A and B are shown apart, each in its own frame.
Chain A
Amino acid sequence: KQTRSQFYLALTLSSALRQMVMKVYGDGMSACVARVLLCLHEKETEFELVPVDLFACHHKLPSFLSMNPFGQVPVLQDEDLTLFESRAITAYIAEKHKDKGTDLTRHADKEAAIVKLWSEVESHHFNPAISAVIHQLIVVPLQGKTPDAAIVEENLEKLGKVLDVYEEKLGKTKYLAGDSYTLADLHHVPYTYYFMKTGHAGLVNDRPNVKAWWEDLCSRPAFLKVSPGLTVAPATN
């Protein structure tokens, strides 16, 4: 009788603990999901990854749309809070757990503003160009179509200009927002990882400061935990 009640107590406790753990809906191969996973590992935070089958379009089902009406992964659930948009999720996790793991956001207003500045740069300058290239070289072939070389070319040029700015900045500071790793660097990682597998890695490797920065980002323990999930292979060219 005692063993049974202990059993039920253990079951209740473990169920309660499972409910307290943050849930991330998505698949580790999605760059935007990986962004969130990197943040969770940097903050040494427990979480549960709930798979969403993108190939079966589960992210377009009503049950998913009720969490994110834009039908995109990742989605985060933390008790009664449901969040989407990967960069809002990383900001929330970094703030909630600001006292443990890596300091990803900095606390003083002016320093935090510089982190936000370079996060905006990633969001508005870097991401549109690199994600357009990745879309053509990875997603489009998966849909059975041929990459548009003109789009790739145009966006490689834009990306090159952004990386020229980074090359100069990273000659002055070790990371984009200063001398410590922050969300501003982290947000770049998943798409850059995929990009480096295409035939265009030279854009990074030919810029010594950018190359050194990238190699540093890849050596982080959080990256080593997340990169095995980034499994999609691009067409090489």
Chain B
Amino acid sequence: MAGIKVFGHPASTATRRVLIALHEKDLDFELVHVELKDGEHKKEPFLSRNPFGKVPAFEDGDFKLFESRAITQYIAHEYADKGNQLLSPGSKNMAILAMGMEIEAHEFDSVASKLGWEQIFKNFFGLTTDQAVVKEEEVKLGKVLDNYEARLGESKYLASDHFTLVDLHHIPVIQYLLGTPTKKLFEERPHVSAWVADITSRPSSQKILL
């Protein structure tokens, strides 16, 4: 049996999103390293796996996917009976989950990723952090986190009283931001701070750190 393969890079936030989900489900898998600095993701054979040239790509036997959040959802549904529950039963609960995933994708990630890029990844390429951008994006992130603070005052996790894909999708970018001055935005909001500590201390979150 061919099994599960993830084609990605262990430092990539999108790859980590998928790896965390696999660990939550106690699934065996192989991480096939794609060397980003050599542009491997922009060439064949990787492009046949993802024509958009981004990691990760995914295989479960002969079933192939890309887009990290489609992959995590596939894992959560296909392996619903294994490991930790990542979904919520019932169509209204699933709708709340879907909404939470959209908020992460459209409101949180766009801002948080820019902050990660400016403060961490740019340095790998010998570029300088633009503090004006950091300041501007931190204001936006603050507003999103204000919404999260209110939400987390009502339930332990973003979409439910148990950990779900909505919380999981946030972990990789948050882990990077905790190594930057931006971490103060999490620390100064008590419910958000407790939630961040909780989700980043899960065994699956720890397993993917280098």
Taking Cβ atoms with an 8 Å cutoff, the residues of A that contact B are: 69-70, 81, 83-85, 87-89, 91-92, 95-96, 109-110, 112-114, 116-117, 119-121, 123-125, 162, 165, 168-169
Known: A81-B92, A85-B106, A121-B67. A109 touches B98 (CB 8 A): no
A89 to B99, CA, bound (A): 8
Query: Could you tell me the distance in whole angstroms from the C-beta of A67 to the nearest C-beta in chain B?
Result: 12
A113 to B67, CA, bound (A): 10
B81 in the interface (beta carbon within 8 A): no
Q: Is the CB of A120 within 8 A of B70?
A: yes
Known: A109-B77, A168-B51. A120 touches B69 (CB 8 A): yes
Q: Which residues on the A side are within 8 Å of B105 (C-beta)?
A: 123-124
- Among A81, A83, A120, A165, find the residue whose CB has the most chain B CB atoms closer than 10 A: A120
Q: Is the CB of A116 within 8 A of B73?
A: yes
CB-nearest residue of chain A to B95: A92
List 17 extra interface pairs beyond A81-B92, A95-B91, A109-B78, CB under 8 A: A69-B150, A85-B98, A87-B98, A88-B99, A88-B101, A91-B95, A92-B94, A109-B74, A113-B63, A113-B70, A114-B65, A119-B70, A120-B67, A120-B70, A121-B52, A121-B67, A124-B67
A88 to B71, CA, bound (A): 17
A95 to B67, CA, bound (A): 21
Q: Is the CB of A85 within 8 A of B73?
A: no
A-B contact pairs, 12 of them (CB 8 A): A69-B147, A69-B150, A81-B92, A81-B95, A83-B96, A85-B102, A88-B98, A92-B91, A96-B91, A110-B74, A113-B71, A117-B70
B66 in the interface (beta carbon within 8 A): yes
Q: Is the CB of A117 within 8 A of B95?
A: no
Q: Is the CB of A112 within 8 A of B77?
A: yes
Contact with A along B50-80 (1 / 0, CB 8 A): 0110000000000101110111011001100
Query: Could you tell me the distance in whole angstroms from the C-beta of A85 to the nearest C-beta in chain B?
Result: 4
Known: A113-B73, A119-B70, A124-B105. A83 touches B150 (CB 8 A): no
Q: Which residues on the B side are within 8 Å of A69 (C-beta)?
A: 147, 150
B103 in the interface (beta carbon within 8 A): yes
- Among A96, A114, A124, find the residue whose CB has the most chain B CB atoms closer than 10 A: A124
CB-nearest residue of chain A to B75: A113
A92 to B91, CA, bound (A): 7
5 nearest interchain CB pairs?
A85-B102, A120-B67, A88-B98, A92-B95, A88-B99
Q: Is the CB of B51 within 8 A of A91?
A: no
Q: Which residues on the B side are within 8 Å of A123 (C-beta)?
A: 105-106
A169 to B47, CA, bound (A): 13
CB-nearest residue of chain A to B78: A109
A22 to B99, CA, bound (A): 17
A110 to B62, CA, bound (A): 11
B130 in the interface (beta carbon within 8 A): no
B44 in the interface (beta carbon within 8 A): no
